[in-house]
């Protein structure tokens, strides 16, 4: 068997409610998607803007070998107020 268990789906106004069987739990930060006739509920990835998401993107990038020219940026002249 593939581990599937029957669930009960009810309607609450405009929303549908999936009643999970005992012993099955879902993290509070979950996402749902539909693929054909399948409804998939899984743990959400790192939140948009999170440090974990940034680190995961940076881990996929190649190092940048390009060197930039130095910028001549002298200190401003003193101002007499």
Domain ranges of the chain: 8-59
Asked if residues 20 and 7 have their Cβ atoms less than 8 Å apart, the reply is yes
Q: Identify the pLDDT of residue 48.
A: 65
The values of phi and psi at residue 46, to 5°, are: -55, 140
Q: Identify the pLDDT of residue 26.
A: 82
Q: Identify the pLDDT of residue 14.
A: 95
pTM of the model: 0.47
Question: CA triplet 2, 41, 48: central angle to 5 degrees?
Answer: 140
Strand partners, 18: 9
| pLDDT-flagged residues of the chain (< 70) | 1, 46-48
Spatial distance between the Cα atoms of 43 and 27, rounded to a whole number of angstroms: 6
């Amino acid at each position: 068997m593939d581990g599937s268990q029957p669930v009960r789906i009810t309607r609450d106004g405009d929303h549908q409610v999936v009643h999970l069987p005992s012993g099955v739990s879902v993290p509070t930060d979950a996402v749902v998607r539909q693929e054909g006739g399948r409804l998939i509920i899984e743990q959400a990835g790192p939140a948009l803007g999170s440090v974990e998401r940034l680190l995961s993107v940076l881990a996929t990038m190649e190092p940048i070998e390009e060197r930039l020219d130095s910028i001549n940026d002298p200190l401003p002249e003193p101002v007499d107020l």
